[in-house]
Structures are given as structure tokens and as C-alpha cells.
Amino acid sequence: MAAPASAPADSRSRQAVRDVVFVDGVRTPFGKAGSKGQYAQTRADDMVVKVIRELLRRNPDLPAERIDEVAIAATTQIGDQGLTIGRSAALLAGLPKSVPGFAIDRMCAGAMTAVTTVSSGIAFGAYDVVIAGGVEHMGNHPMGEGVDPNPRFVSDKLVDPSALVMGSTAENLHDRFPHLTKERTDSYAVLSQDRYDAAVRAGKISPDLVPVSTRSEEGWGLSTTDEPPRPGTTTEDLAGLKTPFRPHGRVTPGNAAGLNDGATGALLADAETAEQLGLPVGMRLVGYAFAGVDPEVMGVGPVPATEKALERAGLSIDDIGLFEINEAFAVQVLAFLDHFGIADDDERVNPWGGAIACGHPLASSGVRLMTQLSRHFAEHPEVRYGITTMCIGFGMGGTVIWENPNYNGGQQ
């Protein structure tokens, strides 16, 4: 009789956790949602195909069959954002049929969660190379389309009704922190527009944009630039804008991100595989954390998420030399900066502007933050650590800590 298979000699032994690296990231230009936007007649899955193909084109030493997974996030997973979009987009992009894929959702932090999820798999040894990203076509699928919130949320007073409207949660944040005035948020919004415009003129943005063929009633076109920015915006321009979420409120279309369409994608790998394949390393993953907060003030979510991530990594906010903070609402960014004692115009924060200028296609934005941070790292070898962080609908925040592979010991 054959002897039963024996257990490992030491059941406590585990495979060493592997280093995870961010290889490269790209995105489509972001568009304005709606019938007049540049992607009005473009499918969401076709935008994902563009970023997958561009990642492979930019990294020709990576055999397509070495990709172990394709994780794509979408907040509204129906229509052209449904059908397990990670798998369907992989097939449409021409990846080998042996490459699996899946869809994921954490609202605004969808792409961020796609990255952290597959990075855990890489660290564990389940994957070597992965594509992760996100897409949102808010013109085809407005936020909340097809959603049926359980009535107990309101009837049982589990959340304030305003928690279901993101703009209302931003107004609530103003209420909680009255020193975060509309004047401060408008000034921050102008700063975002100015920094983004300066980055465009300096050639910082376009290298990571993949052109997308578009169609309209006028015929075929080519999207090569972000559609939402409003260069030259002044605080005087913003002062008279309507406050759609509350009469005499403080949140306006000028100090918040708009409704947008777009897709992002990133290549991640374990450090050893990246070296074997000759893939570039933009940054190394240090750690990450997600945290929950009261849904009616969801914009404060990045604060506990960052504290949690820093504590687990054994770091402090003083160790962070670069910040990429998603700008869903200016008040949400300012709440984060005030908490950590960072000035509104600190040059370490969103050096190339943010979502108030370039747009925020919900589930795609996390990888935009990461791609930009990796580019900042290349320009700033004196900086060792940076973070990407964002608030998340229904009361959450997410933060990822990254290390600069070009770090030179702090020398300027």
C-alpha cells in the first residue's frame, strides 16, 4: 500500500515574499462625458484594448504569453464595461487565449485596487507579470446607472442620505471643517489647472497618452490630448459658479473633478522577472492600506488610509517626498493636507496638477496617479518614498506607498 503524501517538514515554512515593481503605465486621453465629448461614440472596452496594446508596444522584450493576468476595474459593470472586462479586453487586444482576466470594483479606487490585488499575487508567487488598470465611460454609463441601493441604508439610518451623492459628501466635509472655505478650494483648483497646463507645455503629460481613434457625426478623429482642462482659469472665474449640490453651497464644477471617460493600464512584475526580461522599473511597492470612514464624509478617507499604510510600513509622513492625491473635490485634498500639516501649494503635492484639471474617469484614476508618481521619481532621485492616495465613494480611502529605485541617498 502506497504511503500517504507527507506534509512539509516544517509547516510553518513559507515562500519568501517577493518584491513587486511598477514597470510602466499609460492611459488614454481623458474626455468629457456626454454626447459632445470626444468618446461619445467610442466603446469602453476598446479604450482598454488601446492601453493593453500600448503597454506591449512600449515593452517589446515582454512576450505576451508571459502575462499571467489582466485585472481591469470599472465602477459600472454593464454594457461595454461588463462581460468580465479584464478577460474580454485581453482577448480583443490579441493576447494569447491562455492569458486570463477579471473585473474588479471599488468605485473611484478600482484601478488602485486592481494594482494592489494583483501585486499581492505577485508577492505571493501566483503571478510574475500582470496588467492592471481601469476604465470608466461615464457618458455611456453615468454614476449609479442600474444601482438599486437597499432601502435599509436610509430607513434603518445606517448612513445619512447624502452619502449616496458624492457632491453632497463634499459639502458635508466643508461643514465638518469650516476653515476649508470655498475661497481656499477655488484657489487650490486654479493651482491644479495651472500646474497641469505647465506640465503639458513642458511635455510631461503627452508621453504617457495613447492616441485613440474616435468617431463623431463629423467623421473620424484622433484623440491625443485631455479634453477637460481649462487653462487660464482664475479664482474670479470660479467665484460665480453654481453650487449644484446645495443652495449657497461651496462645491462647484470648478473646484471638483468633472464627469469623464477614459482608461488606464499598468505593467507590474516581481523584481527578478523584470530583471530577467529587461523590463524597466519605475518604482517598488512598499505597502498599501484601505480604510473606512463615515460614508457621508467619504472625502476624508485618505487620512486614515495613509496613517494605516505608514504605520504598517514603519514610516511617517515626514518620510514621504512626493504625493499624488486624486482630486475628486478640492475640499477633500485640503482636508488631507491640513491633517498632515502640509501647505495648500506644497510643491511635493500633485506637481503636474490633478483630476480637477485633467479629469477623473472613476475606476481608471488610480493608475494615472501611479504612472505620474513613477515619472516624478525619475526626475527626483533625492526622494525615496512617495504615495498615491484617493477617497472612495461610500466612505473609504486608499493609499499605496512606493519607493524610488533611483534614490541617491537624498543628495540634491
Greater confidence (288 vs 154) lies with: 288
Whole-model pTM: value is: 0.95
Residues 6+ apart with CB under 8 A from 299: 169, 170, 173, 328, 329, 331, 332, 335, 391
In the predicted model, what is the mean pLDDT of the chain?
Answer: 95
| Span of 9-23, 133-147, 255-269 with lowest mean pLDDT | 9-23
Q: How far is CA 161 from the centre of its chain?
A: 26
- Rounded CA-CA distance 355/344 in Å is 16
Q: CA triplet 303, 307, 308: central angle to 5 degrees? A: 115
| pLDDT of 353 above 80 | yes
Residue 339 is a catalytic residue: no
Active-site pick, 108, 137, 358, 380 = 108
Nearest to 351 by CA among 194, 189, 190: 194
Say if residue 31's pLDDT is above 60: yes
Choose the catalytic residue: 141, 358, 376, 391: 391
Q: Which of these is catalytic: 137, 360, 376, 380?
A: 360
Q: What is the pLDDT of residue 2?
A: 43
Q: Is 391 a catalytic residue?
A: yes
Strands 20-27 and 283-292: antiparallel
Catalytic, 108? Answer yes
Of the listed ranges 137-146, 167-176, 363-372, the one predicted with least confidence: 137-146
